[in-house]
Structure 1
């Protein structure tokens, strides 16, 4: 196989400033390139965390995006590994971000015995935070 790794995911947003702040300040991505007036879009921005990148785009002029729904096909969420789920939750809360998914009354919950939580980015991308590997 010639595929070496996943390079990036492209996320479109009508809430560019909020999404940029979220991925930069809350998730720890660094802006590596921000292009204005990119192919009829206000912005096309590359953010990097380790070897993984997000291409953050605004809609093309005159376009409106459909709202996010977990009933859409395709990617449902992005998952990130941390050292400690509880500490990461507290870190994000201290930064003032509070758009956490609540499941059965809990923010941090167990799936197959493993702790995780989910947050929603301003544009609607659901992000899973876990501290244990699947394998």
Structure 2
């Protein structure tokens, strides 16, 4: 098997419009295509992340909650690379997003921080 890259990450939202606003208007991801699936009464929004990745946002009626804290087994967090972490943190905070203090990765020496999406999905900014 020869896997080239991660194609997309799918996120099920509790409030589709709130999450759509967060990922499009606050994080700045470009909408590729939005699809309403009548048979599921569900929306799917494909978002462009940089030049090589995609996020898919889904709406479902009454999705079950996923435990996050204390850390549960499974996906720990989703990380996004940025050029200037301080500028990115300020943009998030200016939009009312609570951001943890910036830390330094002990292995790489790079700056990083964590914040949450509207469903408390742990997200990370990692400086290039």
Relative to the length of structure 1, the TM-score reads: 0.80
Structure 2 SS opposite 1:97: coil
Residue pair 1:41, 1:57 contacting (<8 A) in 2 also: no
Question: How far apart, CA to CA, are the structure 2 residues paired with 1:58 and 1:11?
Answer: 9
Q: Give CA-to-partner distance per residue, 1:70-107, whole Å, 9 cap, x none.
A: 4322111111111111111112223x232323xxxxx2
Q: Give CA-to-partner distance per residue, 1:28-66, whole Å, 9 cap, x none.
A: 21111111235414311111122211111112x4x4321
Residue pair 1:9, 1:53 contacting (<8 A) in 2 also: yes
* Unaligned segments of structure 2, at least 5 residues: none
* Unaligned segments of structure 1, at least 5 residues: 102-106
Task: Give the aligned CA root-mean-square deviation in angstroms.
Answer: 1.9
* Change over 3 Å in CA distance of 1:124–1:39 after alignment to 2: farther
Partner of 1:104: none
Partner of 1:34: 34
Residue pair 1:12, 1:123 contacting (<8 A) in 2 also: no
Matches within 5 A, 1:1-135: 1-49=1-49, 50-59=51-60, 61=61, 63-70=62-69, 71-94=71-94, 96-101=95-100, 107-112=101-106, 113-132=109-128
Question: How far apart, CA to CA, are the structure 2 residues paired with 1:29 and 1:38?
Answer: 25
Relative to the length of structure 2, the TM-score reads: 0.84
Residue pair 1:11, 1:57 contacting (<8 A) in 2 also: yes
Structure 2 SS opposite 1:122: coil
Instruction: Count how many residue pairs are aligned between Structure 1 and Structure 2.
Output: 124
Question: How far apart, CA to CA, are the structure 2 residues paired with 1:81 and 1:23?
Answer: 15
